[in-house]
Amino acid sequence: MALHIVLVEPEIPPNTGNIARTAAATDSVLHLVKPLGFRLDEKSLRRAGLDYWPYVTLEVHENLEEFLEKYSDRRMWLATTKGPRLYTEAEFRDEDMILFGRETAGLPRDLIEARRDMAIRIPMSRDTRLRSFNLSNAANIVLFEALRQLGFPGLE
């Protein structure tokens, strides 16, 4: 039993490192979709993940098209500020994939439009100049809701 966190073209090494730590701690699978804004062997990425990298189940994909083709049979939730419903309204299942986009641009608009029924968002104040939550915080928020719904499988 596992959930999948998918980072589409992540740009900031510490965000990816923090999400890798969360993936290791929750037995979730981490997918990185290229192009990446960093090399996987960069010191900053390792430092952000500390000693957790050996415990991360990691898949790296050459591009979004390859990823979507490989996992065409899976349910994919799209975490986006443009989602029509709250992440708490999603009904998560084992093996679901939760996609997050680049820190500066989010997920591709055509992907969101094609899968609008699976687009979810985290509520935030409209009286702010912030575009979105930090990527690693957003991934943790949505992942832990999914894990809560599933009864925190394998976690203590």
Domain ranges (residues) in the chain? 4-149
Q: Looking at the predicted structure, is the pLDDT value of residue 43 above 70?
A: no
Q: Looking at the predicted structure, is the pLDDT value of residue 42 above 80?
A: no
75, two tokens? 């349910």
Which CATH topology does 4-149 take?
A: Alpha/beta knot (3.40.1280)
Residue 48 has a pLDDT of 57
Residue 29 has a pLDDT of 98
What is the chain's length? 156
Supply the pTM of this predicted model.
0.92
Task: Identify the weakest region by mean pLDDT among 1-10, 23-32, 78-87, 122-131.
Answer: 122-131
Q: What share of the chain is helix, strand, coil (3-state, %, to 5)?
A: 40, 20, 40
